[in-house]
Chains A and B, each alone.
Chain A
Amino acid sequence: MPTADAFYLATIIVYGAVDAMACLALNVEFGFAGLSNFGFIIFQSIGAYVAAVLSMPNWASSNGGFQQYILGWHLAWPLPWIGAAIAGGLLALPFVFLVGKRLRGDFAAVGLLVSAVLLNVLVKNYMPLFNGDAGISIVPAPLQSLWNPQSLGYQFAYGGLAVVLTIATYFLLKRVTESPFGRSLRAMRDNDIVADSLGKNIRGQRTSMMVLGGAIAGLSGAVLVGFINLWAPGAWGYAETIVLFAAIIVGGAGNHKGAVLGAILVPLGFEEVTRFIPPLSNPTLVPALEWVAIGLLIVLFLWFRPNGILPERRRILSGLPSGAAAPVLTGSDTTDADVLVKLGNIEQIDFRQLLRLGEPVNDHRVILSTHNLTKSFSGVTVVQDVSIEVHQGRLTGLIGPNGAGKSTTLAMLAGTLPSSGGTITYDGRDITSMPSNLRARAGLVRTFQLASEFKKLTVLENLVSAIPNQSGDSLRGALRGKRFWGAEDRANIERAMEMLEGFGLTQYADAYAGSLSGGQRRLVEIMRALLAEPKVLLLDEPMAGVHPNLAHKIGEQLVTMCQAGMTVLMVEHELSIMDAFCDPVIVLAEGKVLAQGTMAELRLKEEVVEAYLVG
């Protein structure tokens, strides 16, 4: 091989590794955690800068001080690279406010995009910190005093090191994503409000992924700057982030191999292919067409192949023979009647054991109560001074006409919506201002009126993700590896399989939850809420769309669970369910409590009949 070609090959290896590391990091943020970090490039940029200035001598004393920068500690390799990773991770912290709040995903993304744009403007114009638009040159190559960086051997060794770091990144991130914590990340990606209601700490999960992704991005920047020996802010424009997003969309979001493939095809491929185009009379034409092509790639892939070349793969956890397991459903080829046929043994489930219920307590003390609970939206009061009491071990019903404020009340009890006034007391504690994920951890778990399954988690994953106190369900736990959490996870999977069997859904264990029929999805949601080990279960129309016979079987089981010490508050339109199972029943109308009692008593009350039972 001619020497020039060999040098070129080494360069390509380094560039490819840097792009692959960046895409892997962005993919765990976007493809797994659902964070659209449109400011990603600034994390790579800060890493490169920090690596540069940590390895350079003090600016005033070197080369006559022709360029300005901070630090200048002249540290030996690999300390500057470690510093770069730390800087990338720390940079995530100021942005936590954007991703931690329940800000719409696109609004947060816009905030990050604009941050990247403006930081670039600032850097280009502020001399002392970053030497302005000119950037920094003569950045030392690692170990350059020991080995000539211009030698072919050095260049290939550098490329080899970059590839090793990429492989290490790949396995590190895989360890994180293929763990219970990774499951929680994907649950958050699919529906953050529901994940929150099951006790996941959304802000914590997002922060840890921003920090982890930022650290890897910072390291990738350090690898690049040590090789090309210069740092110019012009090369870190916000549009570079869009190139990386294009790479992930093309390669396959939520798939590590897809991220690497995308990195090779898009940033590396575009950069290198255009080198071979002869210079034209119009110097802007080729770069302009490159950008047009990036734009086209994004739009066309999102339309024709939204999951990329290597789509996220489905996790088969059930251990069932692959032939029998996981039929890929098309939605219409199953009915609730099918489920009903298989609903053989729901009576045989020992829910007390499965749900870790304690000894039954039958003193029926008040476990959950509200005092003058109120909610208004921009001046319109939808719930007004509602004071209710829910007794332990009872199945309390909540009925009322449309717009009575039932779902809003439930949402305030669970913390999904903040209340505008009044107090909520749970288990003797005032929880009015407690975040919803902490309420769920304390045993106050809700379901949703609208379909809320995690669509791109399998049915089994949906269930397992809800089980509390998993030792692999934190970044630290995930990093300790499968040996640390594997046995526990297998036990959890078995528990969930037992539940599935009881509800007659075993054969769908490995199917995506999003592919089930409406009634089946309600069942998944009920099972998931039960596995969250609630003390008080708040159900919002759980039987809507469920076959009536099946609904009655579930109702009977709920009664059994209440006898075993659980408490249920259930919003339901189906009065036959209320008649059969709920006592007492609270009637809401126009945001106020209208009446309370058994269904038989309520049917005798004129105002209730007028407000609801007839209409």
Chain B
Amino acid sequence: MRVRVLYLIAAAATAAAIALPLWGFTMSAPQYPDESLHLQVGRTGISGDLHEVEALQKYIGVRFPTELPELRPATFGMAALAGLLLLAALTGPGRFGRAYRALCAVLFVLFLGASAVVVQTRLYTVGHDRDPNAPLRAIADFTPPLVGPVKVGNFTVWSFPHAGGVLLLAGSILSVAGLFVKPAGGTEAAAARRLSRKDAA
């Protein structure tokens, strides 16, 4: 029973992440007191203080991507994972169930790993593929980390998982944790029920 709840939660968290911003960036500088700039990346693309960031980025030749085609497969991936986890909540304690749940966990971790690689590549490109004719020459190439700060000129840019990102992480942790929790449905009565079902089959 407990395992089912756990997978239901993991499925719900993963589904909710689709609707929420996944990753966030906060940019602060001395001349932006109490008004740091915020960007969020979600299913529909980048949102937030885009107007201001676009006004600023041309000084250092940064081309913040306006289109993120990888968001489509990512959204599909999240939806698929949510569906798989939902099914995982229905699986039994048997070998098939365990194998299925292990597959879910592996897929989830792979999905996160692949996403991290894609995002980090994007971030690297932002900091390196810059307009050589940009007015400000003082800024060296930079790579914002997936999580953490980077100094770009007078700005400190913080990257961090947003609500959706946190839910995805939670979903993946739950799906892995589920492998180590004894199925609560393992009472004798339930086992007997399952056995009888199996017999019937």
Bound pair: A and B? no
